[in-house]
Amino acid sequence: MKYEKLAKEIIKNVGGKENVSSLTHCITRLRFKLIDESKANTEILKNMDGIVTVIQSGGQYQVVIGNHVPEVYADVSAIGGFQSAAAESPDEKIGLFNKFIDIISGVFTPALGVLCATGMIKGFTALFLSLGLLTSTSGTYQILNAIGDCLFYFFPIFLGYTSAKKFNANIFLGMAIGATLVYPTFSSITASGQPLYTLFSGSVIESPVYLTFLGIPVILMSYSSSVIPIILSTYVGAKIEALFKKIIPSVVRTFLVPFCTLLIIVPLALIVIGPVATWAGQLLGAGTLFIYNLSPVIAGILLGAFWQVFVIFGLHWGFVPIAINNLTVLKYDPILAGVFGASFAQTGVVLAILLRTKNIKLKSLSIPAVISGIFGVTEPAIYGITLPRKKPFVLSCIAAGVGGGIIGLMGTKGYILGGLGIFGIPSYISPEGMDAGFYGAIIGITVSFVLGFLLMYFGGFKDDVVKDQPADGPKGEILVKQETVSSPLKGEVVALSDVKDEAFSTGALGKGIAIEPAEGKVFSPVDGVLTSLFSSGHAIGITSDHGVDILIHVGKDTVKLKGKHFTPRVKQGDTVKKGDLLMEFDMEAIRAAGYILTTPVIVSNSNNYLDVIETGKKSIGYKEDLLTVMI
């Protein structure tokens, strides 16, 4: 296994395989559902090689890996035996919104790759038709169109499979329900037959009845490409199946459970669930279109600006069923069109960083992030580059908002759920050809990319570099760039590996050193800004003027003191100079309370630098050189 070591560490730090309720993955993330998230070592995972970051949102524990997540997922699944681990903890309580996000992501994630692939094929087929490279009667067009249309046309069958897995039902039961909904005979009845009578005549839900089941009218609808009916039907079917499993003897359970379940759920789906869900979907599509029509420009600006925020918290999944429902009901979707420029804005910002930075580590991170961003995968850019530096992320959101506003102004609509990044361009070709909306999409993503690049390149770019230190190179040129971090405490020097706290001793939180304090005072080790001051007073974070992030953590588990015996002398956001007094603490009282005072001093963004060199001294005083950060 290529990622066996990483997979084992992930399983260990999510609380062990016994703490995993289910596991799926998307383009860049492992999506765990944990029985108890408090058992996971989030900070260790965040700082582990091979992991970009960890996000806890929507009832999921998301470990962001990057583009090679399928290989990591395969190894994690094999080692942990998670292939069929989908049971939810009955005692777990999450909010309704989180539950909704969890269901949507669980249902759509397994099909997302193939859904995008078929959408791309359909989009490019439409492009070839518009350019005159193919004709609608050619065999090549017919076959390509069939490949592109197959999944979306038979979507209920695929979603029946994924929904059944999510709801812990027999997967073939879910597929059978989906297949019934798109059974071709029903379509032919509505196309050529005469209705027996009409229900709800004259209302917005007027429905002709072509057949009955045991005398009960069946409202036949088109469920091809639909989303809500099959998900709801499979959910109810899972409950019915579970009931029959309890009452049917095990010796005949294998065939009698699906037999009884299908006889109940399929008519129920056709008579009640399907029609009601379809009507609900029509209202949802009309509602989103109404909001969009109030002001397409404002809708585009808001969607574009906040889309990457939605991605960070996993909330973007909530828009997927709305978009698919719009495509089914309206035959187009204007909602996801507004966010099309977000990945291009992010890519433009990272490209500017790539061209401006002199930091070798940052440059090496930026190159693959730009390549991934071009194809619509921006998690490596967000979590590895822009979000940790804050300003680049904000600038990318601004650029995406402007692009979204242009897309809204031009009336751009998506006609298929196609690929990401540049592969998504054909998705905006109207069945009638390249219209103003299509050119609006091109203009929107171009503006997002260019504006993101310009804002970052000329917007006060601050490199992750440090002060130049002259060396004895030829002609006096600078051979090395480095920043010296002074000691914030006075005392005995302790190797980080000897600290009795695994998060620090393993180097998971960053490289550095520790001090056994001789006095209860902490001074600033650099010139910079106090970026974090914990309410408990036990830990301080400083970002130097040259971008080095330093964490000073007084003692082990001292957060439990809730600020007692700690006296901060500064506040968060203060600008500090090297040697300024930051905090005082009562050493005797803290030790009397049972806590050790060994204080790690680490460079929390040490992965951005070539090395962090510790002092060789055994004891150290205030303002003496403690760490040297090398670029």
Q: Do the beta carbons of residue 300 and residue 405 sit within 8 Å?
A: yes
- Tell me how crowded residue 213 is: count the other CB atoms within 10 A of its CB: 12
Burial class (CB within 10 angstroms; exposed 0-12, middle 13-18, buried 19+) of 527: middle
Question: Tokens 């193939």 belong to which residue?
Answer: 114
Three-state SS string across 281-318, please?
HHHHHHHHHHHHHHCHHHHHHHHHHHHHHHHHCCHHHH
Strands 491-494 and 539-544: unpaired
Rounded Cα gap, residues 553 and 560, in angstroms: 13
Q: Which amino acid is at 617?
A: K
Determine the longest span between alpha carbons in the chain, in angstroms.
Answer: 97
DSSP conformation class of 414: B
Closest CA to 567 of 557, 579, 553, 581: 581
Strands 211-213 and 216-218: antiparallel
Rounded Cα gap, residues 438 and 340, in angstroms: 12
Q: Residue 35, SS3?
A: coil
- Tell me how crowded residue 127 is: count the other CB atoms within 10 A of its CB: 17
Length of the chain: 631
Rounded Cα gap, residues 441 and 429, in angstroms: 10
Q: Do the beta carbons of residue 104 and residue 316 sit within 8 Å?
A: no
Closest CA to 402 of 310, 335, 292, 304: 304
Within 8 A by CB and 6+ apart from 3, the residues are 50, 68, 71, 72, 75, 76
- What is the end-to-end Cα distance of the chain in Å, rounded? 34
Strand order of the β-sheet with 566-568 is 521-523, 581-585, 566-568
State how far the alpha carbon of 53 is from the alpha carbons of 277, 382, 404, 448, 473, in Å.
38, 10, 27, 26, 39
Instruction: Report residue 62 CA to chain centroid gap.
Output: 7
Annotated catalytic residue, options 26, 116, 150, 260: 26
If residue 155 lies in a helix (H) or strand (E), which one and from where to where? helix 155-166
Record the tokens describing residue 353, joined without a space. Answer: 């960083």
Q: Is 260 a catalytic residue?
A: no
Could you list the active site residues?
26
